[in-house]
A = this chain, B = another copy of it.
Amino acid sequence: MYVTNPHFDDANPDVLYHFGMSTLSHDFVKLFGDLKFVCCGGSAKRMEKIANMFMKEFCPSSSTAAVNICQSDRYVMFKVGPVLCVNHGMGMPSMSIMLHELFKLLRHAKCKDIMVFRIGTSGGIGIPPGTIVVTEQAYNALLEPKFTTECVGKLVSYPTTLDKELCDELCQVAAAMDLPAIKAKTAGTNDFYEGQGRLDGALCCYKETDKMAFLEQAKNLGIRNFEMEAPAFAAMTRRAGIKAAVVCVTLLDRLEGDQVLSALSVLKGYEERPCQLLTAFIKKRLLQQNGVDHHCVNGGGC
């Protein structure tokens, strides 16, 4: 479960180097055995903020703030009852390290029926800023529906479709909350500037007509937002047999421009939307699973 590496042996000591954790020093079953949901995103501060929002919702009797339990400074991690919040930095290589170690953590902890969510911000394509895009399939920076990476010196590609039922359920929850949300394709790139056809980077190797042709091609494929992690996230969670979803809000419409120019207060409002949606979704699921509302099942981590 979660770990498909045939060389992995549960009996061997294992160091999760970038989390600063080890099977020799950490009792994973005790620390993480009751997890049901993992919420990840790029920014460390946003993950802390979300963890404290979850704390109010799922552990209302707790008076303390969420505490970072990572023993290294590469990532931050907060446990709030059945929810783990962890950041993954920016880009697929940074996220890939986190996911490898997260999957091993879940295996060591003997967790069951885990769902993993990536929440974040993105650039929209032909949709109003503030729209939540729930990804049905991730596309790479060449606008192909797959994740291609280098594995021991060779190129390998993996499928990038995400769980259809989970995607639909998230859109239904958003609709019930009057949050603007659509199901669409998402392109994840390895560069924010040239990779997404921006004209405002330090380096730019193409013309404005190339940029607009690229954005039109993406739009015609049904891609409605650009970010930098969805292909690896979709491919790796699929390989690990985990139900997963990508929920990103758009901060601008790339057909209108390249720079993020909205007022900070407006952007902050947009950024909260994926968290609001995920909070409502988890509340709904906890109610279904446990017949209780709003609070931890066993208090672990609250």
The answer on a CB contact under 8 Å between B203 and A239 is yes
A266-292 contacts to B (CB < 8 Å): none
Contact B156 A190 (CB under 8 A): no
Does A96 make an interface contact (CB < 8 A)?
A: yes
B96 pairs with A89, CB closer than 8 A: no
Tell whether, in the assembled complex, residue B259 and residue A17 are in contact, meaning their CB atoms are under 8 Å apart. yes
Q: Which of A76-91 contact B (CB under 8 A)?
A: 89-91
Q: Which residues of chain B are near A211, meaning CB under 8 Å? A: 152
> Would you call B195 and A259 a contact (CB within 8 A)?
no
**What is the interface of chain A mostly: helix, strand, loop, or mixed?**
loop
Task: Provide the bound-state CA to CA distance between A6 and B202, in Å.
Answer: 9
Instruction: Give this chain's copy count.
Output: 2
Which residues of the other chain, B, contact A240 by a CB distance below 8 angstroms?
202-203
With a cutoff of 8 Å between Cβ atoms, the chain B residues found around residue A189 in the complex are: 93, 150
- Determine whether A141 belongs to the interface, using a CB cutoff of 8 Å to chain B: yes
**Contact residues in B for A4 (Cβ distance below 8 Å):** 202-204
| CB-defined A-B contacts under 8 Å, sample of 26 | A4-B204, A5-B202, A5-B204, A17-B259, A43-B73, A89-B91, A91-B96, A92-B190, A93-B93, A93-B191, A94-B94, A96-B191, A96-B192, A96-B193, A100-B201, A103-B202, A107-B202, A149-B194, A149-B195, A150-B189, A150-B191, A151-B195, A152-B195, A152-B205, A152-B206, A156-B205
A contact residues vs B (CB 8 Å cutoff): 2-8, 14-15, 17-18, 42-46, 73-74, 89-94, 96-97, 99-104, 107, 140-143, 149-156, 189-195, 197, 199-206, 208, 210-211, 214, 217, 228, 236, 239-240, 259-261
